[in-house]
Amino acid sequence: MKSFFKGYLKSALYTAVFSLACTQANAEAVEIKLGDFQSTTHIVSKEGTVKWMKTVEERTGGQVTFKHFPSQQAAKSKGLLDAVKKGIIDAALIGPLYHSDRLPLNSVIGLPGFFSSAQEGSQALQEMVAEGPLHDEFVAEGVMPIMPFVLPPYNILLKDAKVGKLEEWKGMNIRTAGSTQAMTARALGGAGVSIPGPETYSALERGRVSGVFFPLSSVPSYNLQEVSSSISTNGFFGGYSFTLILKKDIFDKLSPEVQKIMLDAGREIGIHVAKAQDESIAGLTAEWAKNGVEMFQFSAEEQAQLRAAITDVKKDWVERVGKQNPKASSVLSSYEAVISH
């Protein structure tokens, strides 16, 4: 009897494997054209986008494959959402803060002082994008959010003298990533200048801006350490999110199994790339200091001054975004609740 059951289980296993193989073989192959404004050397691409594509290809047994267009080959950073909507490409890694006019609620991640690491921020964002108003904004644009994650908190990179006390920020032109960070710059006494990441090097080098809000993990991909004399290491000047999106009608045509593979991989790789960024910072700052860049921290007194100055940014965000979407206040409350637990 024992031998019979052993043989029966082995036969059942072979049948299941054969059935799965046949299902995969008979399933229609799908090639997805994916646009990206990051280069393949950027940590977000290496540990995020590329890793997600490889994971989906492996877990679908090659049923889903990708054609990758990095470094703005398919569209500029601010044009990727439209490129997906119009069917020029099927998917893209976008920065929602570049599209705050159409994804206003998703700009909540740009508010300063909420999270201390990319992993912490990504866990909160994934929870909020899974369902509810942030998710609905993407769907209203005809796209499905697959992999949301955030960069480490933004610090300040300076072309010349470092800043600390509030009065030292007055009149500064500061590179920001979207309107929410621009509100932070204004609250500190400066002016926000919205500049995409790939254009930041020349803006700082030529003096178009005197300072740059930027996540430290992304600095080497744009070589910003080459044109910075000093860089803060304990800043809290807002966040920046990425979300890998797929055209909604393409997603809806995929089998439930493939949809689940994509979403599961999105959650998994989103946390992975966040953790990889956090872990890269110590080595980067040590290297920059060795090469002559002054790495500095804000004192407790300076931090208190700066935090007091940006207190009203949350209120201003609710008022501004609330004109576009009445759910702004509840989204902020949800974000505060999610990030606190």
User: What are the angstrom distances between the C-alpha of 42 and each of 143, 218, 246, 336?
Assistant: 24, 7, 21, 30
pLDDT for the residue numbered 197: 83
**177 SS3 class:** coil
Alpha-carbon gap, residue 282 to 186, rounded angstroms: 30
Confidence of residue 341 (pLDDT cuts 50, 70, 90): confident
pLDDT for the residue numbered 24: 43
Q: Which residue has the higher pLDDT, 63 or 98?
A: 63
Confidence of residue 21 (pLDDT cuts 50, 70, 90): very low
How much is the mean pLDDT over the chain?
91
* 37 has a pLDDT exceeding 80: yes
Alpha-carbon gap, residue 227 to 204, rounded angstroms: 7
User: What are the angstrom distances between the C-alpha of 265 and each of 37, 82, 125, 170?
Assistant: 21, 24, 16, 44
Confidence of residue 27 (pLDDT cuts 50, 70, 90): low
Q: Which fold has domain 27-152+240-279?
A: D-Maltodextrin-Binding Protein; domain 2 (3.40.190)
pLDDT for the residue numbered 49: 98
Alpha-carbon gap, residue 263 to 286, rounded angstroms: 36
Backbone angles phi, psi at 42, to 5 degrees: -70, 140
pLDDT for the residue numbered 28: 80
Report, as an integer, the average pLDDT of 284-299.
97
Superfamily of domain 154-239+291-321, CATH level 4: Bacterial extracellular solute-binding protein, family 7 (3.40.190.170)
Give the tens place of pLDDT for each residue, 238-264: 999 999 999 999 999 999 999 999 999
Alpha-carbon gap, residue 220 to 212, rounded angstroms: 14
* 36 has a pLDDT exceeding 70: yes
Segments making up each domain of the chain, as ranges? 27-152+240-279, 154-239+291-321
pLDDT for the residue numbered 228: 97
What predicted TM-score, i.e. pTM, was given to this entire model? 0.86
Report, as an integer, the average pLDDT of 155-177.
93
Give the tens place of pLDDT for each residue, 297-320: 999 999 999 999 999 999 999 999
pLDDT for the residue numbered 161: 81
